[in-house]
Amino acid sequence: MAPRYYALGDSMSIDDYAGGPGLGAASLLADDLGIELMLLARDGATSDDVLRRQLGQVGDRPALVTVTMGGNDLLTAMVESPDKVPAAVEAVAANYDATLTVLAATGARIVVSTVYDPTDGTGDMSWAGLPDVEGGLALLEALNGEIRAAAARYGAAVADLHAAFLGHGAQAGDITRPDSHPANRELWLCGHIEPNAWGAEAIRDAWRAALRG
């Protein structure tokens, strides 16, 4: 059987917002590596979805797995009640442990991804119609700390999308627009939080760097 690459997670991995089939981060990485892609990631997926719906579809002896999850958990908690955000961080951490326990046993190379900040460090989510969360930026950093710690425990590589995307969100332009290929190539998000074509390329590049590292 030819080696396969499984992409688990949310919209950070998919083609939809980057302009169509073949243009999302996972598709770009698979094309670069010349490996068959099994794109299991889905728009809006939470860490529960990854653990309970996507993980079971990973076949025997995958060569490579990338994981993008956690951001939708935080957004869902923010919409329901800002008080639920700390519990969401804990839930994502537990789901990462459970997911990586299974993936590590396959022998695949694993790349996990930190969650980027569409506010570029301001913490202002008013443009998305979301309430302020007390200590929101610290909670995002706590989540990313949990992701890094889980990666260390299970021998996974870390693609630091949080660091890569700083300055390419709300501070770079209007991230609410749906344009997948904006003229401003420093603007990497569209539709509020989704990676456009330039963002997808940046995620691909971060994954490649993590694999080289």
Residues 144, 124: Cα–Cα separation, whole Å:
19
Residue-range definition of the domain harbouring residue 102: 4-212
Which of 156, 168, 152, 166 minimizes the C-alpha distance to 67? 156
**Residue 60 binned pLDDT confidence (cut-offs 50, 70, 90):** confident
Looking at residue 78, its pLDDT comes to: 84
Mean pLDDT of 13-39: 98
User: Over the chain, what is the mean pLDDT?
Assistant: 94
Rounded Cα gap, residues 129 and 131, in angstroms: 7
- The 3-state DSSP class for residue 143 equals helix
Lowest mean pLDDT, pick from 63-67, 116-120, 123-127, 130-134:
130-134
| Residue 188 β-bridge partners | none
Percent of the chain at pLDDT > 70 equals 96
Looking at 32-36, 111-115, 129-133, which range is the least confident one? Answer: 129-133
User: What is the mean predicted confidence (pLDDT) over 52-73?
Assistant: 96
pLDDT band, very low/low/confident/very high, at 94 (cuts 50, 70, 90):
very high
Which CATH number belongs to the domain containing residue 43 in this structure? 3.40.50.1110
Rounded distance between C-alpha atoms, residue 210 and residue 182, angstroms:
27
User: Where does residue 86 rank: exposed (0-12), middle (13-18), buried (19+ CB within 10 A)?
Assistant: middle
pLDDT of 163 strictly over 80: yes
Judge whether residue 1 has pLDDT over 80.
no
The number of domains in the chain is 1
Cα–Cα distances (Å) from 138 to 80, 85, 135, 141, in that order, read 19, 11, 5, 5
